[in-house]
Structure 1
Amino acid sequence: MKQSVLIPVINKGFEIHYFSKKNQSHDWLKKYNESAEKFSQLESLFQLHRHDVLEVLVFLDGECEFFCEGKTYSLRRGDVVVIPPYAVHKAIVKSIDNYERIIVSVSEHLMGDFLSSSPSMKENIVYQKTQGSYVLHLHSKNSQDIISLLHEITHRIKNGEENSSFTLHYLLFQALQVIFDPASSMPNLSNKDELDQRFVSILEYIESYLTEPDLSLDNVSNYFHLNKYYFSHYFKKNMNLPFYRYVSLKRLSFAVTMIKQNQISIEKIALKCGFSDYSSFYRLFKKEYNLSPKKLQKEYKNLY
């Protein structure tokens, strides 16, 4: 079974990272002050993973198929992938030598500030969600505008400007406005796997009842009037993950976020995230991350 990684992201503000053969994400290595071997375990770009923040990927070059929440997309140069918090995803890259992209991670706090100051952006995001695609095929000019804005942000950060500055936030705000503007993108006609409406409803149901302890394959299949064996096969075919694995990953994602917040005990976090008891939570957590919940809490404190 493939492992999934929850990549730690800052509590507020944003982070921006390039990946290319000539820039092997050395900024991340510097940030975590770890060896490349350990870095690859914590920050794997190509395993199933998820974040507790909004992530925007701008695809620059190479051959890449992108998997997100049951859909697989063939990316082309200039495409933008908008990945919601907690969405399970991964990049499937044919050749790492030619792969190049920019990733921007935007905290919930900063995104909230952007949306409160721009009702039109909020409306555009709602509209994009109704289109049922995580990938936006931008017009060439819009794509270049976004890349230019992100290059300007990176240039200013390298010259010592704090990423909490008004100027950098405004540049990022401009980039997001372009990304979410429906006029910036072309119709999405290249989904490799189109989800049927029933599966979309199943994912919405799981999201709504994720923290309920009785969320189970039997209960969900019964709710949708499906044989549980058929449902199990149907879910895995569409998601590329078994039902219980998917639910576990989602719950663990929420648990990691709460552990980082450090507001209640880890035992209470386990119950709040839908696990039946602490021992089962601990066992799954240790298997998933190869460290204990308390160890993760300690390592996160050391990072920030």
Structure 2
Amino acid sequence: MKTFTFETLPVTLAEREINTTIPHQELAHWHDTLELIQVKQGQMHCHVNESDFLLKKGDICIINQDQVHRIYSDDTSCLVHTLSVDPMMLSSIHELYHQLILPIISDQDFTHIRMHGRNSHAHLISNLMDDLQILAQEKPSGYALQALAYVSMILRQVYIVHNDEPLEADHDEDLRIQKKMATFIYEHYGEAIGLSEIAQAGGISRSKCSTVFKKYTETSPIDFLNAYRLEKAAALLKNTHASIADIAFSCGFNQQSYFNRLFLREYGITPKGYRNA
């Protein structure tokens, strides 16, 4: 994955390839930024809360902050650009922020908007995202100011689309519960937790817990927990000199042999091989 930043602007542009041969597909997640997805090549699925839909070359999807989502491919290779923008970057311009930005990000009916590539707004957003990538690669003098201009133009398109396009509202109480349980996993993955503890964090039964996870993440609570543990372990393997046994234990695996099996299945390589690669 290639990542482009723009000095101190809270804006990140990423280019990544998605296909079934890449180990460890991303987990469902959420963040406090607006995210725009641009399909450059191929096609892929986008899962936002309860909705799952196909995006093809040229299509754009705008995802509001705090929405549980992930992107994945079934059987084809796909090249995608994602633009993450922190709307608070404009909060110092008080009147503009409260009139044009806050009504969008605080709209509970605005979870996501998908646009066909032939849509004029999608076409303009795609061109601006391409311009941002070129800007980040060339880094001309004062390029952050130009990046701010491009991002402002993109946000204007988001404002127009939000006002004109039909919204796909699909949030409910289960979404709040799912976030609560996922947050519990993020904070306690290194401890001896299981289905009962995850369900208790959401204040629901074990069976309801499994249903909610399947609904929003398309996986089980334990598979989600183990995948997150493996993500953290992979980062420790690359960025620390801790022993594999210590890493396995710190990430919630009581047996190194079990950790090794799961890691090999998820990443297609042993923990030792991953560290040395």
TM-score when normalising by structure 2: 0.63
Q: Which residue is equivalent to 2:9?
A: none
Deviation at 1:15, TM superposition (A): 6.0
Which of 123, 131, 156 is equivalent to 1:152?
A: 131
Q: Which residue of 2 aligns with 1:80?
A: 61
Is structure 2 residue 176 aligned with structure 1 residue 204? Answer: no
Letter paired with 1:66: C
- 2 CA distance for matches of 1:208 and 1:138? 34
**Higher mean displacement: 198-207 or 75-84:** 75-84
Name the counterpart of 1:36: none
Q: Residue 262 of structure 1: which of 218, 240, 247 is its match?
A: 240
Mark the runs of 5 or more structure 2 residues left unpaired by the alignment.
Answer: 7-11
Shift of residue 295, structure 1, vs aligned partner: 2.3
Shift of 1:221: 2.4
State the Cα distance separating 1:152 from its structure 2 match: 2.8
Percent of residue pairs bearing the same amino acid type: 15
- Give per-residue Cα distances to partners, 1:8-49, cap 9 Å, x unaligned: 55597766548xxxxxx7xx9xxxxxxxxxx96237xxx843
Q: Is the 8 A contact 2:229 2:251 kept in 1?
A: yes
- In 2, Cα distance between equivalents of 1:64 and 1:100: 6
1:32 match: none
Residues 1:185 and 2:164 aligned together: no
Runs (5+) with no aligned partner, structure 1: 1-7, 19-24, 29-38, 300-304
Tell me, yes or no, if structure 1 residue 143 matches structure 2 residue 122. yes
Kindly tell me: are residues 215 and 41 of structure 1, through their superposed partners in 2, closer, same or farther at Cα, counting changes over 3 Å? same
Q: For the structure 1 residues 168 and 78, does the alpha-carbon distance in structure 2 shift closer, same or farther, using more than 3 Å as the test?
A: farther
Report the Cα offset of residue 272 of structure 1: 4.3
Q: CA deviation at 1:216?
A: 1.9
* Alpha-carbon spacing, 1:84–1:268, altered in 2? closer, same or farther (3 Å): farther
Q: Could you tell me which of 219, 228, 245 is aligned with 2:206?
A: 228
Q: Is the 1:137–1:185 Cα contact (8 Å) retained in structure 2? A: no
- Select which of 70, 92, 109 maps to 1:89: 70
Q: CA separation in 2, counterparts of 1:268 and 1:173?
A: 44
TM-score normalized with structure 1 length: 0.58
Answer whether contact 1:135 1:188 (CA < 8 A) is retained: no
Count of paired positions = 255
Q: Which residue of 1 aligns with 2:226?
A: 248
Q: Distance in 1 between matches of 2:28 and 2:200?
A: 31
Aligned residue for 2:273, secondary structure, equals helix
1:58 counterpart SS class:
strand
SS state of the match for residue 41, structure 1? coil
